[in-house]
Structure 1
């Protein structure tokens, strides 16, 4: 792991955006693995800025998002499709048909998961996978468990995860109970992984992911087995690292 610590959110976001832009400049048809949540928002803002300055084009790129809530319409303001449109897709020249987000409203969710994995197999591998981390060590929506799924699957969200995401909804009970998420195996197939973490609330999860044992009780710890991981941390997130 290449671990970098930053004093400002802006510098962290710029470093993450630079990595994406560098990839697209050398490989315009790159496959991007994208994440939602607060961690990557700054990176997306910088990417939009750099696109508007003419420094990068997304016109030949494609993208796959990690996850989506089950039961939220795609146009719901808290769906991850809406999140991506709001923070990135609507502001750049990417072909919307080349942007992929799991369908949490599919009539047959098992078939949707299998189809998503097949698309990843056919169009991948992902060149650069962006990740955040949950305070319990989850990546995507792969929650701590006795075992983890390799492929895309439906997951029951733990109470702590629903509580953490409740700030985005009108009422805590509005947070969906389930999500469709890319599995750990799918994530680890990416050629390079970019882990973005901000805030002291994530410091213990970061310590366990980077310095702790590899265990399914901290899904992010499996990133230790990947040959090319870049970790960008602010001072709070890096607080407990040796």
Structure 2
């Protein structure tokens, strides 16, 4: 009997500009490990509260084991497979891409596909969460609703990442770095530097994630689409071959073989 449970909780209105959602991977009552599900990049960060035993995260580059604790899950550049050990639960707070720079000066340049203990990201927040019951969803939600905004400090870099992210989302990732930089009023070199500094991804990598997620959302929502060529062109790819190569590199499967049941996808059918 599979006792694993996936669920999502909405963030309160005052948090909704910073927190996309809360989501739970709950294997706490299961005697068996949970596996065979993948997670796609979506352009967001997550604060992960792991309780119980450990989880194992696998990607094309290797394997990461995370013990009980609180971590910042940084930007993903590739799909991961998640293995949750018996009697283990993960509660995640999904943050929009402009949020970490508002509460941390941690150097994110080389953190793509990394999981950093929260104490290294923001020691004050980590201290205030020390000793909490990591499985207690209500307490964690209450902490974010009552205290999280106090840690956020708007700054020039967060404004830049916010505006850039929204422009890229509006264009479904179909905007060149030159065009993006022009709209932001900065040089391409400056924008690339800030993306790498605060997201660990280049603007091109970030836009590719958005384009692939948009195509996944369309495939999942529509169930059927007119042609692979149409899907490729609508999502800003040069041709079908370019789309298939990029999709396969990010999702570890071709668009023709994509099976939504093998992925943990959001209930609203949307990436970032």
> TM-score, normalization: structure 2?
0.26
